[in-house]
Amino acid sequence: METDRLVIAVDGPAGSGKSTIAKRIADILGLEYIDTGAMYRALTLKVINEGIDSKDTESILELLQTTSIYFKDNHIYLDGIMVDDKIRKNIINKNVSNVAKIKKVREKMVEIQQKLSKSSNIIMDGRDIGTVVLPRANFKFFIIASVEERARRRYKELIEKGEKDISYNQILTEIKRRDKLDSTRKISPLRKSPESYEIDTTNKTIDQSINEIIDIIKGGN
């Protein structure tokens, strides 16, 4: 376990609320926040912009060689351009699992994530943070919610961002498909590590979930 710094791993499926929760906890406890999903999303954005099929592993690996992805002041940059909004589009949601299952893509992202975690007190969210990226984290949380609730949240988020031509049922189907891809892939599938605290956000407000987590961290158990 880390002793000189506070390192927190947060994992969970799409729409579980993990990013919202991790961001707020970072603010409350003064930690650096790293959204690892944003990194896979940024690469997926480039794949789409370049007209590459998200299943074309060879072309994606070639693209990876000349791609720079980094965070600055809590924003995500792709080849020097801030892409916070562009990576949240539904076309990215649809393709990101294909990109994220490629072994060499994961190796590169994990390497960057582990480097980022070395210097400060940090909270990082994703799918494999507690299991692969930060196995020595002081606290690990696994955030869940029913698939219907997660689809409702994602649908609302997309509508609020102005996406048209989407329906709740379509989003529900997509989330189920993504859950399956993320949890059955060969490398670093979405999995709860035995020492993780499971937090079910289905019938809770964000504040209730956050308080539950802060109590665990402050309790030190």
Contacts with ligand DC by CB under 6 A lie at 14, 36-37, 40-41, 96-97, 100, 126-129, 178, 182
139 contact partners, CB below 8 Å, separation of at least 6: 7, 8, 9, 197, 216, 217
DSSP code string of 43-98:
HHHHHHHTT--TT-HHHHHHHHHT--EEEETTEEEETTEE-TTGGGSHHHHHHHHH
When the beta carbons of 181 and 214 are compared against ligand DC, the nearer one is 181
Closest by alpha carbon to 116, among 23, 30, 35? 35
When the beta carbons of 157 and 215 are compared against ligand DC, the nearer one is 157
3-state secondary structure of 212: helix
- Residue 60 falls in which region: left (phi positive, over 0), alpha (psi -120 to 50) or beta: alpha
Backbone phi, then psi, for 7, in 5-degree steps?
A: -125, 120
Question: What minimum distance in Å lies between the beta carbon of 122 and ligand DC?
Answer: 14
Question: What minimum distance in Å lies between the beta carbon of 147 and ligand DC?
Answer: 14
Question: What minimum distance in Å lies between the beta carbon of 45 and ligand DC?
Answer: 11
Question: What minimum distance in Å lies between the beta carbon of 203 and ligand DC?
Answer: 22
When the beta carbons of 22 and 31 are compared against ligand DC, the nearer one is 22
Question: What minimum distance in Å lies between the beta carbon of 218 and ligand DC?
Answer: 26
Question: What minimum distance in Å lies between the beta carbon of 154 and ligand DC?
Answer: 9
When the beta carbons of 115 and 218 are compared against ligand DC, the nearer one is 115
Q: What's the rounded Cα separation, in Å, for the pair 221 and 216?
A: 6
Give residue for tokens 């590590």: 193
When the beta carbons of 82 and 215 are compared against ligand DC, the nearer one is 82
Residue 99 in contact with residue 185, Cβ under 8 Å? Answer: no
When the beta carbons of 84 and 215 are compared against ligand DC, the nearer one is 84
